[in-house]
Amino acid sequence: MAIAASKTLAIAEPRTRAVLFDAFAIFDPGPVSLAAKNAIGDRSEEFMRIWRTKQFEYTWLRNSGGVYKNFWDVTKDALGFAERHLGLRLQPDTRQSLLDSYFKLQPWPDVPAGIEILRSKGLKLGILSNFTDAMLDSNLANAAGLKLDVCLSTDRVRRFKPDPQAYAMGPAALNLSQDEIVYVAFAGWDAAGAAWSGYRTFWLNRLRAVEEHLDTSIAAAAAQFDDLIKFLS
């Protein structure tokens, strides 16, 4: 995935009428890591690395094999793999507390004010996520006052990103053409998938990860919500 340095804070074309976010571009996954640290202690970082990796590996494998489970069930399966891989024997209530942490996410600190600025520009705003509707509803309830026009779970089409059917939910729900929507990704692979599907894509690279080498290009990448606002100005 190529990102030219000169494009880092490029200006989006004025035809933008809506912005769709991946859930993690809105919600900080920190509570999940904290729950793991409280439950597992010194091995929590290794546990989280395996758990997260398997979460997404399982979604991609299920996309490829045509055998669907929703993201909540995939998350349970991935947790079970991580537990067995590390030889852990978690108590049922500990395991449940880890899973429940996905319902207790909070917006990144710069999100509420940033969303209001984008709304003031007349943009339609929404989430397009692999999270189930229940996961999205719970986390939006934690973010009182965060106003979005659409909240789309890929569970509705029984396909995970980066499947084109998942990304196609955005234009249909917003009643806009795809080139009128900017997609904001949290992960590099999602940025690539959205670009493949035809979105003008902004990678909100909060973790400053290395870009993927996936033979595509995205419109811009930066680490702060303010950079997204500049891009959309």
The answer to whether 16 and 182 have CB atoms below 8 angstroms apart is yes
Bridge-based pairing state of the strands 106-107 and 27-28: antiparallel
Answer for the pair 19, 225: CB distance below 8 angstroms, yes or no. no
3-state helix, strand, coil in the chain (%, to 5): 55, 15, 35
The one catalytic residue in 22, 155, 163, 190 is 22
Q: List, in sequence order, every residue forming a beta bridge with 181; answer none if it has no partner.
A: 18
Please, what is the Cα angle at 90 between 89 and 95, to 5 degrees? 150
Q: Compute CA distances 38 → 42, 44, 95, 105, 108, whole Å.
A: 9, 8, 12, 16, 21
Q: Is the dihedral of CA 71, 73, 79, 85 positive or negative?
A: negative
Catalytic-residue membership of 73: no
Tell me the residue length of the chain.
233
Task: Catalogue the long-range contacts made by 41-45 (C-beta closer than 8 Å, 24 or more residues apart).
Answer: 43/86, 43/88
List, by residue number, the catalytic residues: 22
